Amino acid sequence: MLKKEQNDYLTQTGPGTPMGELFRCYWMPALLSEELPEPDCAPVRVKLLGERLLAFRDSEGRLGLIDEFCAHRGVSLWFARNEECGLRCPYHGWKFDVNGQCVDVPSEPAESGYAKKVKLKAYPLIEKGGVLWTYMGPPEKQPPEPEFEFCTVPLNQTFSSKRIQESNWLQAMEGGIDSSHVSFLHRGDLASDPLFKGAAGNKYNLGDLSPVFEISESDGGLLIGARRNAEDEQYYWRITPWVMPCYTGVPPRGDHPMHGHFWVPIDDESCWAWSYDYHPTRPLTDGEVAAMKDGKGIHVKYVPGTYRPLANKDNDYLMNREAQKAGRTFSGIEGIGMQDASLQESMGPICDRTKENLVGTDNGIIMARHRLMRAAKALTDKGVIPPGVNPEHHKVRQAALLLPRAAAYTEGAKEALIAKKGVRQTSV
């Protein structure tokens, strides 16, 4: 459990809050590249960390992420014309470039220099691995670009999607480091999902429902090892990395692509659940990409034209009690992503952690909260750069492997947990 003030501390990410300032130390996924497909395409509304912004790609392909509202009369620039290297407000014609600089105020003589004195807040927006990333902190503290492996492999080896989740970011992220729920909530999918099935390791998940956990701090966050009994005096280990503040990796299965998530706050009552799949050494097959686009694995089907899941709270997540009773799905909800989201959204917009009853096997969650609070306090009090900002901390991999029972995974899987270009993942 958390005290109310601790829960507030961790869940509030708006400007000026301790966690909001922590998040503003990192590059974060903001949009998919497909949302701004070409120069002068339609601008896109973006809300991140409680700030309403507008993203656009100008006539020369440059990316901008600026305050959504015109500095003149507060009109939303989503209605603007994206033309000749800037967004022109349709109300009175004021125009802004990708840096938020006002470049034209038609009612004032150009020679007056009036436009130069008007500038909207703007954040950098960069493209990497099919994702547009932003950094919302002080410009003088902007870190080097992110180096997560999924965004550094060739584009034909990686696939990312996102879905809106109608809950606070923390309860979503905590699901990503809570390995023990997999054997229950997702058990029906291990045998049927095209992006999971067939892996030799699946039998250990299904055969041992009481995993034992080991947790250690890494430079960037945590490593959470879950071990299950295997033959020949071995343990089957699944190791989940968490990189602060909101990146989680799911241990792989066989030669299937590796996947994981980013959990990015939109505001305090909703977040973006980013899902990535990639293979370190080969292109994704047409079949794999088709499955991902069809909402298999950790991805979801969408309400057409949106990033809202097709199964959502408005339709009771398409609950199927018959499938639940027959055991085809454990919860009655189809798809891994929505199995998680439906339960996490049911906690309410911001989970009340004063009422929860954690057990010893929830130490991954306890430790993540502890590290987040410690880092936010160190940043607030002493300006200490938090773990996970350094791109070296991003070069971590999830792993699944068999080890002798006496071996520590931190030693036995040491090499497997490092992302190395051109080296296949360690997986069973």
Contact (Cβ atoms closer than 8 angstroms) between residue 86 and residue 305: no
Strands (E), 244-398: 247-250, 258-267, 270-278
Q: Does 324 bind another protein (CB under 8 A)?
A: no
State the residue for tokens 């005290």.
3
Cα separation, 89 vs 40, in Å, equals: 14
Nearest to 29 by CA among 134, 162, 161, 168: 134
Strands (E), 71-124: 81-82, 87-88, 95-96, 102-104, 122-123
Q: Does 346 bind another protein (CB under 8 A)?
A: yes
- Binding to another protein in span 370-399, by CB under 8 A: 370, 374
For another protein, the closer CB: 11 or 152:
11
Computed on alpha carbons and rounded to an integer, the radius of gyration of the chain in Å comes to: 22
Residues 6+ apart with CB under 8 A from 396: 218, 220, 223, 241, 243, 249, 417, 418, 419
Give the residue, chosen from 58, 67, 68, 166, that forms a contact with another protein under the rule CB under 8 A. 166
- Minimum distance between the CB of residue 345 and another protein, rounded to whole angstroms? 6
- Minimum distance between the CB of residue 274 and another protein, rounded to whole angstroms? 22
Nearest to 351 by CA among 329, 371, 374, 369: 369
Neighbours of 371 (CB within 10 A): 20
Q: Does 107 bind another protein (CB under 8 A)?
A: no
Q: Does 45 bind another protein (CB under 8 A)?
A: no
For another protein, the closer CB: 238 or 369:
369
Site size toward another protein, by CB under 8 A? 39
Give the residue, chosen from 22, 122, 350, 375, that forms a contact with another protein under the rule CB under 8 A. 350
Give the residue, chosen from 358, 384, 385, 423, that forms a contact with another protein under the rule CB under 8 A. 358
Choose the stretch contacting another protein; rule: CB under 8 A; options: 72-80, 277-285, 299-307, 308-316.
Answer: 308-316
Choose the stretch contacting another protein; rule: CB under 8 A; options: 35-43, 213-221, 393-401, 419-427.
Answer: 213-221
Q: Does 367 bind another protein (CB under 8 A)?
A: yes
Give, in order, the Cα–Cα distances in Å from 328 to each of 183, 187, 196, 321. Answer: 14, 9, 15, 10
Neighbours of 46 (CB within 10 A): 22
DSSP 226: E
Choose the stretch contacting another protein; rule: CB under 8 A; options: 38-46, 96-104, 153-161, 358-366.
Answer: 358-366
Per-residue contact track with another protein, 247 to 276, x per CB under 8 A? ----------------------x-------
Choose the stretch contacting another protein; rule: CB under 8 A; options: 20-28, 35-43, 116-124, 344-352.
Answer: 344-352
Q: Does 349 bind another protein (CB under 8 A)?
A: yes
Choose the stretch contacting another protein; rule: CB under 8 A; options: 141-149, 246-254, 310-318, 324-332.
Answer: 310-318
For another protein, the closer CB: 141 or 405:
405
Give the residue, chosen from 38, 232, 314, 381, that forms a contact with another protein under the rule CB under 8 A. 314
- Minimum distance between the CB of residue 319 and another protein, rounded to whole angstroms? 8
Q: 109 is written with which tokens? A: 């003589």
Alpha helices by DSSP H, listed for 137-264, are 169-176, 182-185, 187-190, 202-207
Burial of 140 (0-12, 13-18, 19+ CB in 10 A): exposed
Give the residue, chosen from 348, 385, 392, 423, that forms a contact with another protein under the rule CB under 8 A. 348
For another protein, the closer CB: 107 or 357:
357
Please work out, in degrees rounded to the nearest 5, the angle formed at the alpha carbon of residue 304 by the alpha carbons of 299 and 305. 100
Residue 100: alpha-carbon gap to chain centroid = 26
Chain contacts with another protein (rule: CB under 8 A): 1-2, 166, 212-217, 269, 313-317, 345-346, 348-350, 352, 355, 357-363, 366-367, 369-370, 374, 405-406, 408, 410-411
